Amino acid sequence: MKVSEVPLGPGALAFIGLYLVAMLVVGYLAKRAQRDESLGDFYLAGRSLGSVVLLLTLYATQYSGNTVLGYPGEAYRLGFAWIMSVSFMMSIVVAYLPFAPRLQRLARQHHFVTPGDFLDYRFRSPALSYLANAVLVVSIANYLLAQFMAMGHVVAGFSGNAVPYWVGVVVLVLVIVIYETLGGLRAVAWTDSAQGALLFVGVVGLLFWAAPTPSHWRSLTEWIGANDPAKTAVPDADVTQRWLETVVLVAFSGAVYPQAIQRIYAAKSARSLKRSLQYMSFMPLVTIVPVVLTGLVGLRRFSGLEGVEADQIVPMLLRDYALQSLPSYLLAVLVLTGAVAAIMSTADSVLLSLSSILAKDFLGKTLLRSAPEARLTRTGKLLSWAVTGLLAWLAISPRITLWGLIELKFELLIQVAPAIILGVIWPRLTSQAVLAGLVVGTVVAGSLALSGVNGVAGIQAGLFALGLNLVLSIGLSYRKGET
């Protein structure tokens, strides 16, 4: 049997099993702590998240299955140049700073629950709110699908396919939807705190294993340079431009994740939020660097992987490492648990946001217009189960890489950024202008994505669409102010 087919064994599966049971217990305890069935208590934990819990839940939400599996897979495909992806996650924190504290204060004052509540308050345009919410739903549904795929990859990879891909998807998804519908954001934040800590320990373990000494990296670099020199080459101007564009794309789309916006709403105070963001700025260095370096280690150990196969590089390497000694086995199990935690912590947050938007911003404004909040909360829970079932079914037959799903999500999601970010910081922005920009940006980004066009005039497709969006949003707002 090849190393890549050797499972980590019953010990690892038992540890993961205990971890999953613990998450269900946390969900039950969060259910007991609920004060009522209101939307604010279920979806925002009563707006009571302090700086420590907020930091851990933001960290666990931002760093996901894409981080643990997609980033090493992309490093395997592209080589050393992928280290620049550290700037992706840093850029999100920078994008938060101009608007997040002000949005938190508005949310507490006006009792916002979803991103759509801010849009309703700021612009009072039903058409704008419906379109923005539709874009958010499509974008984060795509993101949730990526997390479900990552679950299957992790379980199948670490078990040496002893536990099939589809079983990993079904079991982990079932655990998430149970504790999420039990305790809402309170359960998600509490589980995220544990998951964030596990993720941090896991990636530090990855770095300790992947780079034990400088001589190790010198040897690896020499091997890659001799056997695959393109992976050590300096990126050309076109690649550099595309990555700089990706930094902008990630910054402004990541800053308007619905789950991130709702974390802003749930903060205990603006001061707690600012403190959490300060510490968040350092997390890419201790998270992205280890996972990228791990993907580079895989170039020498497992060559010839292509496409979605490269997303399995972390499970393959950890199985290899686990065979060396008992301490290495225990570290591999810990990293495995951190990987599972990263995926689950993002999936539960996205699922909660998705159900809240569907329940409050769509059904709550149409079929359930006069329904009490408790009924909307119960409807959101049912929608969580329905959405989970549909996306889990789609995840069982993946046809795109994890990084491919990330880019598709960002190109749509960033079209909502002007409405939210400019809407918070620029009073002159008008509803008609931002609606025109959103319509054009969404149509252009969606059309280019469906036609397989990656760029226009040398500009990344999502950013080209955003440029048109901004020209209309800003230009028409100025024109309105002059008339």
Tens of pLDDT along 215-257?
888 888 899 999 989 888 888 888 888 888 889 988 998 899 9
Whether 436 and 379 map to the same domain: the answer is no
SS3 428: coil
Which of 50-54, 162-166, 200-204, 471-475 holds the top average pLDDT? 471-475
Whether 322 and 447 map to the same domain: the answer is no
Percent of the chain with pLDDT over 90: 39
Domain that holds residue 359: 3-402
57's tokens: 């839940």
**pLDDT at residue 197, rounded to an integer:** 78
Whether 288 and 162 map to the same domain: the answer is yes
Q: Return the higher-pLDDT residue of 196 and 387.
A: 387
Whether 254 and 319 map to the same domain: the answer is yes
Whether 370 and 445 map to the same domain: the answer is no
Which of 81-90, 190-199, 288-297, 355-364 holds the top average pLDDT? 355-364
Residue 45 DSSP label: G
Whether the CB-CB separation of 404 and 145 falls below 8 Å is answered with no
Whether the CB-CB separation of 85 and 70 falls below 8 Å is answered with no
115's tokens: 């991103």
- CATH number for the domain including 83? 1.20.1730.10
Whether the CB-CB separation of 95 and 251 falls below 8 Å is answered with yes
Whether 74 and 196 map to the same domain: the answer is yes
Whether 359 and 270 map to the same domain: the answer is yes
Domain assignment of residue 419, yes or no: no
Domain assignment of residue 23, yes or no: yes
Whether 335 and 195 map to the same domain: the answer is yes
Rounded to the nearest 5 percent, the helix, strand and coil shares of the chain are: 85, 0, 15
Question: pLDDT averaged over the chain?
Answer: 86
Per-position DSSP letters for 273-301, written without gaps between them = HHHHHHHHTTHHHHHHHHHHHHHHHHHHH
Q: Is 184 left (phi over 0), alpha (psi -120 to 50) or beta?
A: left
Whether the CB-CB separation of 98 and 421 falls below 8 Å is answered with yes
Whether 443 and 349 map to the same domain: the answer is no
- Interatomic CA distance for residues 454 and 272, integer angstroms: 40
Which of 205-214, 265-274, 424-433 holds the top average pLDDT? 424-433
- Quick one: pLDDT band at residue 402, thresholds 50, 70, 90? very low
Which of 95-104, 213-222, 256-265, 362-371 is predicted least confidently?
213-222
**Residue 245, number of CB atoms within 10 A of its CB:** 18
Tell me the average pLDDT across 194-211.
Answer: 72
- Interatomic CA distance for residues 317 and 361, integer angstroms: 44
Domain assignment of residue 312, yes or no: yes
Percent of the chain with pLDDT over 70: 92
Whether the CB-CB separation of 317 and 302 falls below 8 Å is answered with yes
**pLDDT at residue 481, rounded to an integer:** 60
Domain-terminating residue out of 350, 368, 402: 402
Whether 32 and 151 map to the same domain: the answer is yes
**Residue 452, number of CB atoms within 10 A of its CB:** 7
- Quick one: pLDDT band at residue 364, thresholds 50, 70, 90? very high
Considering its fold, how many domains does the chain have in total? 2
Q: Is 373 left (phi over 0), alpha (psi -120 to 50) or beta?
A: alpha
Beta strand ranges found along 78-200 (DSSP E): none
- Interatomic CA distance for residues 262 and 46, integer angstroms: 12
Whether pLDDT at 4 is above 50 = no
Whether 387 and 467 map to the same domain: the answer is no
At 422, which helix (H) or strand (E)? Answer: none
- Quick one: pLDDT band at residue 408, thresholds 50, 70, 90? low
Whether the CB-CB separation of 470 and 418 falls below 8 Å is answered with yes
Whether 281 and 200 map to the same domain: the answer is yes
- Interatomic CA distance for residues 289 and 294, integer angstroms: 9
**pLDDT at residue 62, rounded to an integer:** 78
| Amino acid present at 333 | V
Domain assignment of residue 420, yes or no: no
Residue 235 DSSP label: P
Whether pLDDT at 3 is above 60 = no
**pLDDT at residue 298, rounded to an integer:** 86
Domain-terminating residue out of 386, 402, 418: 402
Tell me the average pLDDT across 415-437.
Answer: 96
SS3 389: helix
172's tokens: 């982990």
Domain-terminating residue out of 370, 402, 434: 402
- Interatomic CA distance for residues 22 and 68, integer angstroms: 22
Using a 10 angstrom Cβ sphere, with 0-12 exposed, 13-18 middle and 19 or more buried, the burial of residue 368 is: middle
Domain assignment of residue 261, yes or no: yes
Domain assignment of residue 60, yes or no: yes
Domain assignment of residue 413, yes or no: no
Tens of pLDDT along 94-105?
999 999 999 999
Residue 255 DSSP label: T
Domain assignment of residue 410, yes or no: no
